[in-house]
Structure 1
Amino acid sequence: MLIDYHTHHERCGHAVGKLEEYIQQGIAIGLQQIGVSDHMPLLHVNPDEYYPEMAMPMEELPRYVEEAFALKDKYKGQIDVRVGLEGDYIEGSEEQIETIVNAYPWDYVIGSVHFLGTWDITDFRQTHGWEGRDPMQVYEQYYDAVIKAANTGFYDYMGHIDVIKRFGFKPAGDVTHLENAALEAVRRNDLAIELNASGLRHACAEMFPGKRMLDYARKLDIPITIGSDAHQPARLAEYLDQARSRLKEAGFTQLATFERRIRTMVDF
């Protein structure tokens, strides 16, 4: 089963390519399922006063859903399109997130933490946010947010669960207890996680999650899916061959797939 459940498109502002181009690329490279999963609109900052091109405008959300389901029908029989959302968890905005999650017939919703307050820890333009901060405190705040996201019940799986390492900033001390607590929260809430291969092209130079976390997820019997986090059609499924190999090394034999918020495990 060749799948890619994490993709972004031109509507989010920081990706290129139309939805249909990703689906056509998926067909060309032999994917059986493709998940479209653009970012939820920003809820807690004014895009006019903040960094541009961070997420789709709110008025584009219904257009995204309409187009995605139209393409799902158009390409039925050629590729199985699953319509998702990367539903950024933002502490204090839970009511607004829940409204968006419940407003549309998603196949799946990814729970990802990008923001600590108004600081997007995944934005290369905002790495100055680390200046003057204790990295251990940042990691503690990040993993606390991951746990809170897992506890909401809004999501089907947690995305790039250790993305806090993306730009190579790490505490001097051990963070195993923080990583373990996040995975244990995922397990308690019967969620899945993803193996997000995009970390291989960032400063951290490893997938999300890394080997130790992935092995612990396997020990906890947490279901897992897979995604490239492609932001251009040419990167669809990038590094996913390595990701599948890593999953097999860790002892995984199945991938989680989603339709109408129902998880189905398939062999890979």
Structure 2
Amino acid sequence: LSPDPFAVSAADANCSGVISIGDAIEIARYDAGLISAFCTGGGGPIGSGDVWFVPDNIMIGVGASYSDEIHMSVGGDKLGGYNIKITYDPAVLSVDKSKGDNGVEAGSDGFVAAVNAENAGTLRVSGFDVTGKGPGADLHVLTIHWTAVSLGATPLSFDVANMFNESSARCSTVTSADGYRTVVVDGPGLDITPPSAFGLISPVGGVMMFDNTPTLIWEESSDADSGLDHYEIFIDDANVDNVGAQTTEHTTSELPDGSHSWYIKAVDGAG
């Protein structure tokens, strides 16, 4: 990786020698995609691996939402500003614009100035902080919120430009190898809701019985998401048998004399 060949000052974007409205125009042209990137090479290139996603791998279900964190390493510097372009397949993922600023929030060590999520497949985020954040080798700069819209897999990658310190002195155009990974959307939406609560009918607690093969009876449970799959029967904390979802009673094998405990576990289609 190397600095942009048309290196300019990160603050004095049009190289006029003063900070002016022209600099704002140049920055706007970059954010609109009308020019490539502008950077100073004074601090040398920011190497691959200085920007990365957390977590490393993602596998989710259709309709599920999740969040990505973008982390940056600035070493002994402070992070003063950045421009990031993130690309993805809009047929598989969409930015959840209901959260944060068009789907983007500042991380615990970061800041956000502008977000452009209007073009499906591309998310542009920029930030500037006159005092800077850091220094540090692992700054949580951004959190991005996504929703899985269909089955498939999408590369999720970013280009980083204008990564500079609070003095606008260090900047480079970076495409980080660690800023590329695949998000896999597989199967139905994630079922995180357990089956409905239900009660045990018979035998009741503390009852004295003279039958070593009692019949256990319980109320019916249900599950609105992936559906009820089966019941697991536990006697003295051991799973002694499983029965189908339509069954609400079970006769035990012969039990030894003495006290025993029992309970039933309802299991849905998600396991």
Q: TM-score range by the shorter chain?
A: under 0.3
TM-score (norm 2): 0.23
- Rg: which structure is higher? 2
